[in-house]
């Protein structure tokens, strides 16, 4: 009786004399490996050479500031909920008078931490963010000997105020992406609903 | 026996010792490079230009590692194991004719440490002593993986030694001598033994792979089954000695293959261009080393091509294929050598 369509007929034929003396097969195998001696090497010599990555590569995150330098994030927590790896935690705080140049919204993230060891660089946080605050960039997360240094706080994540310290995310923050995010019927925007079920 | 002779011989001994060490050292480097090239990689290239200082770095690493002697092991034997292994690897170099004699100020100096007339027997004796290093080390470790590896190693080496010896008997029949120097000297010009003894050569090479515990016969250190095999418990330079002994064995085996079957230090046609006997001797050494390096390359090439045998396949190959084949080889060799007598027998 055939239970699945995956069964295979196993051949158990006796080997011919040529196969039984092994040597022809061994020599042809050795020729194959010999030919690899002259093939192009695939190695990338890392510190000197780096593997080229796409411009919309998903690497280390950045928290964007707006034009005047105020943080865009409003600590809504959508990114943390969207995150499948539960890598993001934050503590929200209320903006005081006179802090308008620091925080764009009335509520801001006093603490914002991403655990880079948990993060799988899926980019869901970026998709979920309604304020265009968090972006993944083509920078790589540095390696380290200690685990605790992989919890990136605002000091690392928030981009600098000075124009030369800004992180360029123009390739990711496009009009098409903004348009895409407005469509709530798209599947990625239903993440919240799924999680809340 | 003059004092010059003694000085010359001791110099030669030291020289061969140093060359063996250096070749074995750089074999480790070559192995890693060749493995890398065959797998489309680059291999070690950070230590020094082209990674040439890698063997030194490895050596330093080996020396600096913590020395662990298991508490339940037999300490004396545990130390003796690698010592025997490396000692007997070095000893084999003594009978290899590295070149023909050089003539310095009217006296002949042979480039062979000891021209014993039973060189082949000496070689076999010393090579089989190498098994003890592995066996003692594996036994003294008091670890089941080590013991299994050691048992495998010794049974493998013993069974392949039989076929190896039988394949050599055919060679001895045609050359009529047990002296390596004479075997090498007989192969002047095109009279390489491989042309006379192709089957014997094949058997000998296969057995040489098994004797040196190299892939596809590296069952004694089969990582998938035995952790590290007989040297599981070894660390630091004791492990280094075991690994080093393997490379020395490979070097010596290549030298032996070159001497037995590929003319040793002879190269066809060269005598026509070079007439000075000293220059010829030096060139001979170069040729011998070229051949040796080629065979070392073959050892590595095979290692990075073929998968490991299963243990029963190994034993089947040794006892049921190689030994009958080498016996057949002896019979055929004998028949060819006695062809006139046999012919006359039929004519009568
Ligand atoms: S990239 Fe994915 S895993 Fe990483 S923090 Fe954002 S949502 Fe979480
Ligand atoms: S980064 Fe975006 S999604 Fe996350 S808390 Fe800030 S505003 Fe909300």
Q: pLDDT tens, A31-53?
A: 888 888 888 888 888 888 888 88
pLDDT at A94: 93
What would the two tokens of residue B62 be? Answer: 């080996």
Residue B245 backbone phi and psi in degrees, to 5: -60, -35
Instruction: Parse chain A into domains and list their residue ranges.
Output: 61-185
Helix, strand, or coil (residue B41): coil
Q: Could A33 and B38 be called an inter-chain contact, meaning their C-beta atoms sit closer than 8 Å?
A: yes
- Nearest chain A CA: its distance from B189 CA (Å): 28
Dihedral sign, Cα of residue A13, residue A17, residue A21, residue A26: negative
More confident position, B212 or A90: A90
Beta bridge partners of A89: A113
Ligand 1 atom with minimal separation from the A82 CA: 7
Relative to the alpha carbon of A111, which ligand is closest?
A: 2
Nearest-CA residue for ligand 1 atom 6 is A125
- As a 3-state breakdown, chain A gives helix, strand, coil percent values, each rounded to 5, of 30, 15, 55
Q: Does domain A61-185 have CATH number 3.30.70.3270?
A: yes
B197 within some domain? yes
Q: pLDDT tens, A10-36?
A: 877 887 887 777 888 888 888 888 888
- Note down the domain range covering B110: 72-347
B24 within some domain? no
- Nearest chain A CA: its distance from B215 CA (Å): 13
Contact list, A37 vs chain B (CB under 8 Å): 34, 37-38
pLDDT at A61: 92
Q: Give all strands (DSSP E) within B30-127, no chain letters.
A: 102-104, 107-109
B2 within some domain? no
Relative to the alpha carbon of A107, which ligand is closest?
A: 2
Nearest-CA residue for ligand 2 atom 7 is A73
A191 lines ligand 1 (CB under 6 A): no
B110 within some domain? yes
A169 lines ligand 1 (CB under 6 A): no
Pairing of strands A107-115, A88-94: antiparallel
Nearest of B209, B208, B172, B162 to residue B193 by alpha carbon: B172
Quick one: how far is CA A56 from the chain centroid?
10
B157 within some domain? yes
Containing A114, the helix (H) or strand (E) segment is strand A107-115
A108 secondary structure, DSSP code:
E
B22 within some domain? no
- The pLDDT mean for chain A works out to 84
A21 lines ligand 1 (CB under 6 A): no
Cα B305 to Cα B299: distance, rounded to the nearest angstrom: 10
Q: Could B39 and A36 be called an inter-chain contact, meaning their C-beta atoms sit closer than 8 Å?
A: yes
Residue bearing tokens 């508490």: B71
B207 within some domain? yes
Residue A4 exposed, middle or buried by CB count within 10 Å (0-12, 13-18, 19+): exposed
Q: What average pLDDT does this structure show over A166-179? A: 82
Cα B72 to Cα B229: distance, rounded to the nearest angstrom: 18
Nearest-CA residue for ligand 2 atom 8 is A76
Contact list, A15 vs chain B (CB under 8 Å): none
Minimal-distance CA residue of chain A relative to B46: A45
Containing A134, the helix (H) or strand (E) segment is strand A134-136
Q: Do residues A121 and A60 make contact, with C-beta atoms less than 8 angstroms apart?
A: no
Nearest-CA residue for ligand 2 atom 6 is A73
Q: What are the per-10-residue average pLDDT scores of chain B (348 residues)?
A: 80 87 88 88 84 87 85 84 88 82 73 80 85 86 84 84 87 84 79 81 88 77 70 83 87 88 78 74 84 89 85 84 88 85 80
Beta bridge partners of A151: A115
Residue B61 backbone phi and psi in degrees, to 5: -60, -45
Residue A183 exposed, middle or buried by CB count within 10 Å (0-12, 13-18, 19+): exposed
pLDDT at B77: 87
Contact list, A19 vs chain B (CB under 8 Å): none
A157 lines ligand 1 (CB under 6 A): no
Q: What average pLDDT does this structure show over A155-159? A: 90
Phi-psi region of B106 (alpha: psi -120 to 50; beta: other; left: phi over 0): left
pLDDT at A3: 74
Mutate to test the interface with A, among B32, B33, B34, B40 (most CBs of A within 10 A): B40
Relative to the alpha carbon of A104, which ligand is closest?
A: 2
Ligand 1 atom with minimal separation from the A126 CA: 6
Ligand 2 atom with minimal separation from the A132 CA: 2
Cα A189 to Cα A143: distance, rounded to the nearest angstrom: 33
Is B310 in the A-facing interface, judged by CB distances under 8 Å?
no
Relative to the alpha carbon of A82, which ligand is closest?
A: 1
Containing B28, the helix (H) or strand (E) segment is helix B3-38
B246 within some domain? yes
Nearest-CA residue for ligand 2 atom 5 is A75
Return the ∠ at Cα B214 (arms to B328 and B266), rounded to 5°.
65
CA A43 → CA A48, A197, B36, B41, B49, distances in Å? 12, 47, 10, 6, 17
> How many domains in chain B?
1
Within 10 Å of residue B66's Cβ, how many Cβ atoms? 6
Cα A64 to Cα A82: distance, rounded to the nearest angstrom: 19
What would the two tokens of residue B345 be? Answer: 């027998």
ipTM of the predicted assembly exceeds 0.90: no
Ligand 1 centre to CA of A127 (Å) is 10
Q: Nearest by CB to B306, which of A29, A40, A43?
A: A29
Residues of chain A with pLDDT > 70, as a percent, come to 92
Ligand 2 centre to CA of A131 (Å) is 7
Is A33 in the B-facing interface, judged by CB distances under 8 Å?
yes
């Amino acid at each position: 009786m055939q239970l699945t369509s995956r069964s295979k007929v196993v051949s158990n034929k006796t080997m011919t004399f040529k196969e039984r003396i092994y040597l022809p097969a061994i020599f042809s195998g050795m020729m194959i490996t010999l030919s690899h001696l002259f093939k192009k090497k695939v190695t990338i010599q890392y510190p000197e050479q780096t593997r080229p990555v796409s411009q919309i590569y998903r690497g280390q995150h950045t928290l964007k500031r707006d034009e005047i330098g105020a943080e865009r994030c409003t600590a809504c927590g959508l990114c943390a909920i969207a995150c499948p790896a539960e890598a993001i935690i934050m503590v929200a705080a209320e903006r005081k008078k006179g802090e308008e140049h620091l925080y764009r919204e009335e509520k801001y993230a006093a603490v914002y931490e991403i655990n880079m060891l948990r993060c799988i660089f899926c980019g869901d946080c970026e998709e979920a963010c309604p304020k265009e605050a968090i972006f993944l960039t083509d920078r790589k997360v540095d390696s380290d000997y200690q685990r605790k240094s992989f919890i990136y706080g605002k000091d690392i994540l928030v981009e600098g105020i000075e124009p030369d310290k800004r992180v360029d995310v123009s390739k990711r923050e496009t009009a098409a992406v903004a348009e895409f995010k407005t469509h709530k019927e798209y599947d990625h925007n239903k993440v919240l609903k799924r999680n809340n079920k | 026996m003059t004092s010059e002779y003694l000085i010359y011989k001791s110099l030669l001994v030291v020289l061969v010792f140093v060359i063996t060490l250096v070749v074995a050292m750089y074999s480790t480097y070559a192995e890693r490079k060749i493995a890398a090239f065959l797998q489309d990689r680059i291999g070690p290239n950070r230590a020094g230009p082209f990674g040439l200082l890698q063997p030194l770095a490895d050596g330093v690493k080996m020396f600096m590692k913590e020395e662990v002697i298991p508490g339940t092991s037999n300490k004396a034997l545990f130390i003796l194991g690698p010592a025997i292994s490396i000692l007997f690897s070095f000893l084999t170099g003594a009978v290899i004719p590295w070149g023909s004699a050089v003539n310095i100020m009217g006296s002949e100096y042979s480039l062979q440490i000891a021209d014993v007339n039973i060189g082949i027997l000496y070689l076999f004796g010393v090579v089989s002593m190498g098994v003890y290093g592995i066996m003692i080390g594996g036994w003294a470790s008091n670890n089941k993986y080590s013991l299994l590896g050691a048992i495998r190693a010794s049974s493998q080496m013993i069974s392949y030694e039989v076929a190896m010896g039988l394949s050599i008997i055919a060679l001895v029949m045609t050359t009529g001598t047990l002296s390596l120097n004479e075997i090498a000297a007989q192969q002047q010009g095109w009279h390489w033994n491989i042309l006379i003894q192709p089957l014997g050569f094949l058997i000998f090479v296969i057995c040489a792979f098994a004797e040196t515990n190299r892939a596809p016969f590296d069952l004694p250190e089969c990582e998938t089954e035995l952790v590290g095999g007989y040297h599981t418990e070894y660390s630091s330079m004791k492990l280094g000695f075991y690994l080093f002994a393997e490379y020395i064995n490979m070097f010596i085996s290549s030298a032996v293959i070159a001497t037995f079957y590929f003319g040793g230090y002879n190269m066809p046609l060269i005598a026509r261009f070079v007439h000075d006997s000293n220059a010829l001797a030096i060139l001979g050494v170069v040729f011998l080393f070229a051949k040796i390096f080629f065979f070392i390359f073959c050892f590595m090439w095979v290692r990075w091509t073929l998968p490991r045998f299963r243990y029963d396949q190994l034993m089947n190959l040794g006892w049921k294929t190689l030994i009958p084949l080498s016996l057949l080889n002896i019979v055929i060799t004998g028949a060819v050598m006695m062809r006139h007598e046999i012919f006359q027998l039929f004519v009568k």
